[in-house]
Amino acid sequence: MTDAINRSQIESTLRRFDAGYRHFLHETPLMKLPGAALGVDCAEVWLKLEQLQASGSFKARGMLNRLLSNPIPTRGVIVASGGNAGIATAAAAKLLDVPCEVFVPRISSPAKQARLRALGAALRVTGNAYADALAACLERQKETGALLTHAYDQIEAVLGAGTLAAEVDAQAGAAPDTVLVSVGGGGLIAGIASWYANTVTRVIALEPELAPTLHAARQAGEPVDVSVSGIAADALGAKRIGSIAWPITQKHVQQSLLLRDEAISKAQLWLWQHLQIAAEPSASLGLAALQTGVYQPKKDEKVCLVICGANLDLATLKI
């Protein structure tokens, strides 16, 4: 299955977007800063500003690709999500004028739920975690026959995520030395790692200590269920690494690092105070890893961070 996820297929997906959907799916900016500007001892830090997508996160890439790649039944599309994949699916469904039903757990933020309602999605709030919402979504999909979009464990979602890395290289005129990527179910890192497979660019996985799906799988030697909680649980709340992401990350991801919630929260606030970037906790792990020294770059290193989402309540950014 993972053989279908490679540079050629990612480039094909990008061409599909370029052919008529750039009014919806943006080529988000790449901000380059000297490492010292972020308090980091490295040559440059690149910020891929995916929070500026129309749906507020990188998920728009994979969800639009899923809808464009499949016939859509009259009952439309259905998805379970912590929020971002649901918002992206609902936005893509609205673009294509098809119905959309979204299942989210109760931990999904009020801001994300409000965004879903504003997009016209039929919102179902159920269960305490993403896994509960997914189970309910799968049962409902059997009843309706709607097209299922998965937050991270479908080839189309991973290929869509990979287009982000292709854009980084094109915008920079070269590949970064390292990409730091937040991990929940693993769709984003699987796409990025597939783009950089067999190159000199290192891909590093970052997870909260309280949601360590990939880290726990690596320790066990296979995907395992984990308890999920903490500041980033609504976005990085998968209880098990995805079946697509697991073999890709085993082969092409060099390290899996953990971060404390306190460090993530501080990085999130720093992005707002110093760069006026409103980022979710899940989008702040890369900066947290650099500023705490959990990841220590070399002096001449160029490090790329993916600011992967911004569907948050600004009132939570307390100064």
Q: Which two tokens stand for residue 190?
A: 């699987």
Among candidates 78, 70, 103, 45, which has minimal Cα distance to 291?
45
If asked whether residues 297 and 191 sit together in one domain, one would say: yes
**What pLDDT does residue 318 have?**
64
pLDDT at 319 over 60: no
Contact 206, 215 (CB under 8 A): no
**What pLDDT does residue 67 have?**
97
Last residue of a domain, one of 88, 115, 149: 149
Structural domain range at position 72: 60-149
Per-residue pLDDT band at 317 (split at 50, 70, 90): low
If asked whether residues 50 and 75 sit together in one domain, one would say: no
In CATH, what number is assigned to the domain containing residue 79? 3.40.50.1100
pLDDT at 223 over 80: yes
Rounded Cα–Cα distance for residues 319 and 317 (Å): 6
Q: Can you list the alpha helix ranges (DSSP code H) found in 69-196?
A: 84-96, 110-118, 130-144, 155-172, 187-195
If asked whether residues 95 and 205 sit together in one domain, one would say: no
Last residue of a domain, one of 117, 149, 181: 149
Please state which of the ranges 10-24, 102-116, 280-294 shows the lowest mean pLDDT: 102-116
If asked whether residues 277 and 178 sit together in one domain, one would say: yes
What stretch of H or E contains 257? strand 255-259
If asked whether residues 69 and 209 sit together in one domain, one would say: no
Query: Mean pLDDT for the chain?
Result: 93
If asked whether residues 212 and 124 sit together in one domain, one would say: no
If asked whether residues 85 and 196 sit together in one domain, one would say: no
The structural domain count of the chain equals 2
Rounded Cα–Cα distance for residues 160 and 63 (Å): 8
If asked whether residues 167 and 122 sit together in one domain, one would say: no
Rounded Cα–Cα distance for residues 25 and 15 (Å): 12
Q: Decide: pTM greater than 0.85.
A: yes
Last residue of a domain, one of 149, 172, 188: 149
If asked whether residues 167 and 125 sit together in one domain, one would say: no
If asked whether residues 22 and 64 sit together in one domain, one would say: no
Give me the phi and psi of 14, to 5 degrees please: -65, -40
Per-residue pLDDT band at 98 (split at 50, 70, 90): very high
If asked whether residues 17 and 138 sit together in one domain, one would say: no
Per-residue pLDDT band at 1 (split at 50, 70, 90): low
Highest-scoring range by mean pLDDT, 105-114, 154-163, 274-283: 154-163
**CB atoms closer than 10 angstroms to residue 319:** 5
If asked whether residues 187 and 205 sit together in one domain, one would say: yes
